[in-house]
Amino acid sequence: MKKLTLLITLLAFMAQTNFAQEDKFQWLEDVDSEKSLDWVENWNDKSLSILKNQPEYNSIFEKNLEIYNSTDRIADPSIYGNFIYNFWQDKEHERGIWRRTLLKNYLSDNPEWETVLDIDKLSEKDNEKYVFKGATGLYPDYKKFLVNLSKGGGDAVIIKEFDANTKTFIEDGFLVREAKGSANWIDENTLMVSTDFGNGMTTSGYPKQVKIWKRGTELKDAKLIFEGKEDDMGIWGYTLPTKNKTYSVVMRRTSFYSGSYAFIEKGKIITPELPEDISFSTIFNEQAIFELKSDWNTGIRTFKQGSVLSIYYNDLINGKKNFELVVEPDERSSITEISSTKNVLLVNMLNNVKSELYKYTWNVKWEKEKIDAPELGNISLGATDENSDNYFFYFTNFLEPSTLFNGNAKTGKFNKVKSLPSFFPTEKYKVQQYEATSTDGTKIPYFVVSSKSLKLDGTNPTLLYAYGGFEIPMLPSYNATTGTAWLEKGGVYVLANIRGGGEFGPKWHQAGLKAKRQIVYDDFHAVAENLIERKITSPKKLGIFGGSNGGLLVGVAFTQRPDLYNAVVCAVPLLDMKRYNKLLAGASWMAEYGDPDVPEQWEFIKKYSPYQNVKKEMKYPEVFFTTSTRDDRVHPGHARKMVAKMNDLGYKIYYFENTEGGHAGASTNDQRAQMYALIYSYLQMKLMN
């Protein structure tokens, strides 16, 4: 009898710790195995044969391609010395060209562009599917760059030294092999490099060492200046060049939201005493600018969570604590961006999920002035010039296409550079902001974009989008594809500002961390229920869409509340929360979700993990999963295994895996056009037909 009792206890323990549950689909985590890729090809063929044959697919695809290839798009500017640089993709340049023009030409009606680097030609020459991932210029004349190239769109990049005058990669120049790393200029002959130096990366797949590399020497012989631990999230070194000094910074992240900052002075590492969750923004006029994620008592005074602080750099590295308050948001506001020009610190704020732009100048104390930018929408800061007060910013909302403005930060004056054309008749639609009440009584705001003639009868096809993680706010923006493929077809679009995001500052994000994660999903369900209560829609007509962490969100949503949703687009998702920390960058997100290898934390994670909670004989919607073979951030195994398991349980699902594209899911305009044609064809099939 004792043996039987012991056996029962052991079996119960194994079940509780998940040891008894063999993952028979784990083989799909082998990304490039022949067996896995055959499985992907079969599912792609099966799903595309249905989705591409939907009545609207071809027209949506062609319209998407017209939008993405439109020459009326804004050429997003980057300021490097006297030039405006821009990366551009269109029908003739599938993988894109990196090009430049003078500022005065850029501001003209028809700027003449000079191609600096053709990614299509480079891809053909090297027989690689390159994706341009940006470049770092050598201050102050920007004649040389460190160009970042990804193979297929993943986060890992090759870094090559490039001569902007000859428009060629420099033979025997700096070259950093493919890794999730970075390199920055200290001077023309010296780099600060964070990469895989041959001794491995952190468990999250990021660099654990920073070295200074001199021209003419081997990278392996570069001087080590900082080394972290294998279980750190990652270590990155970077530089901030100014007229009088190039500042060298090392950022050590022990987790996604904690770590430390070190500054290099005369070859020595100086690590100021700062809160482990503080965020260093920039150096402005010899002052270091920080953002607080929690309250902080410096010993001199207490600063509140969400505040922006400043301190003279020399005081900082000498251990002083004489911080000054730049701005302190209130309960319904937060900081979304900080940038600077020669004389002005620009602060972009949210007030009840609507943007406001402010300029701050230092004159013994900080002086604040609101810039008379457009209101009731989303402002995002663009390029700034460290040698003048010239800067760019964008404005958009659900019904106003993005407009680029060029301004003088010191005077506050600005002029419109270009507006995107509208691809659908926005005058027919309206935007309303509502609130839903979550399970703990918190009011959760959300936006509804609909026809002005909307009838509240519960029959409106409605698409609900949210993210709910990593302090990333979801803001109003114009989306031509959503307008043409959804709103014009009679659909309603909803954007929810659930907790986990950054709409109301760090506290809004921290309310949904780790053991408190369920509240994020409760917020989402509450918005769905509120839409139904208002008769904007009904469960039969309600679809949901989320990507990455948002893919986890909608995965939880349909497994917890299948009664609320009839269509689910689950893109590049996390789904297996038992193994997420062992796959690619997953270990870096344990500060967000918790550690599934710790029994106490697995207790709360397992309650919502979609892969573990999908069950037999439930009335789940027919989910559409998408991912990318070359996603090296969120492992494609999440989506693959969920599809295999649901299929094994007898559920009908759809699946598409793009063979490149990285975490974005697509690399070219043609791929983007196809992806969203598939998504909206699926949504129309499920909610409109």
- Which CATH code is given to the segment(s) 24-53+431-687? 3.40.50.1820
Residues in the chain: 689
**What's the whole-model pTM score?**
0.91
- pLDDT bracket for residue 667 (50, 70, 90): confident
In this model, does residue 126 exceed pLDDT 60?
yes
CA distance 185 to 313: 20
CA distance 387 to 624: 49
Neighbours of 280 (CB within 10 A): 18
The whole-number average pLDDT for the span 32-53 is 97
The one catalytic residue in 509, 525, 638, 663 is 663
User: Cα(first)–Cα(last) distance of the chain, in Å?
Assistant: 62
In this model, does residue 18 exceed pLDDT 60?
no
In this model, does residue 6 exceed pLDDT 60?
no
Give the helix/strand (H/E) hosting 58: helix 57-69
CA distance 128 to 153: 11
Give the helix/strand (H/E) hosting 97: strand 97-102
The one catalytic residue in 194, 548, 588, 681 is 548
pLDDT digits over 43-77, tens only? 999 999 999 999 999 999 999 999 999 989 999 99
Please give the share of the chain, as a percent, with pLDDT higher than 70: 97
pLDDT digits over 346-358, tens only? 999 999 999 999 9
Give the helix/strand (H/E) hosting 591: helix 590-593
In this model, does residue 167 exceed pLDDT 60?
yes
pLDDT digits over 278-303, tens only? 999 999 999 999 999 999 999 999 99
Give residue 119's pLDDT. Answer: 98
In this model, does residue 7 exceed pLDDT 90?
no
Whose tokens are 């070194």? That residue is: 237
Give residue 21's pLDDT. Answer: 58
Please indicate whether residue 548 is annotated as part of the active site: yes
Give residue 71's pLDDT. Answer: 86
Please indicate whether residue 663 is annotated as part of the active site: yes
Annotate 284-337 with DSSP letters as a single string: ETTEEEEE-SS-EE-SS-EE-TT-EEEEEHHHHHTT----EEEE---TTEEEEE
In this model, does residue 10 exceed pLDDT 90?
no
Give residue 666's pLDDT. Answer: 76
pLDDT digits over 415-448, tens only? 999 999 999 999 999 999 999 999 999 999 999 9
- Confirm if 325 and 307 have CB atoms less than 8 A apart: yes
